[in-house]
Each structure stands twice: as structure tokens, then as C-alpha cells.
Amino acid sequence: MSVKNLDDLLGEGVQGRYVLVRSDLNVPLDGAAITDDGRVRAALPTIKKLAEAGAKVVVTAHLGRPQGEQDPKFTLATVAKRLGELLGSEVPLAGDLVGESA
């Protein structure tokens, strides 16, 4: 069994399916401001292609190196907001990895 790439998934059809995308969104910040959104922009083509094909896209990422502890300075809220601006739609952010929020 081989790992599927984007073209494989689109060829099989993703309409109505959840597709998990692991993106490198570890952007540089100055306080709560993104200083370079290049990594967010780099994720756009994949996310857009999947969404346009009808997939329910779930993006996973991390920010910084929190050493296993929750730290508000490593929240992805700013990244989710910027991704939403670039996509032209709201990007909800899960507050946890499990449970209702996830």
C-alpha cells in the first residue's frame, strides 16, 4: 500500500469526505502578529483544491515548541484567522485535540 497524493485523492473523489491535511503552519510571530505568512500561503493550493472538490478539509498543525504544555502564546488562532482571510471563509479552530471542540 502506498501513500496517496492529492491527485490520487481527487481522482477517487472526495465529495463529502473528511480529508486530514497536515500543514507546516509554524509561522514567525511578533507578539500576536504574523510576520511572514508564506507557510500559510503555501498550504492554500492543496486546501483550495480539496474544498473545491467537495471535501471537508481538516487542517492539523502546531505552532512553536510548547514542550507538552498548553501555552497561550502558541495558539493557532492568529494562523486560523489569516488562513480564513486568504480563503475568504471562516476557519474554525478546535480548542482541544479531543471532545466536542475537536
Task: Say how far apart CA 100 and CA 97 lie, in whole Å.
Answer: 9
pLDDT band at 88 (very low <50, low <70, confident <90, very high): very high
Q: How many domains does the chain have?
A: 1
Segments forming the whole domain that contains residue 68? 21-87
What's the predicted TM-score (pTM) here? Answer: 0.85
In a domain, 96, yes or no: no
Tell me the residue ranges of DSSP E strands in 1-102.
18-22, 29-30, 33-34, 56-60
Residue-wise pLDDT for 49-60, tens only, equals 999 999 999 999
Q: Which one, of 18, 88, 3, 99, lies nearest residue 59 by Cα? A: 18
Query: Looking at the domain assignment, is residue 1 inside a domain?
Result: no
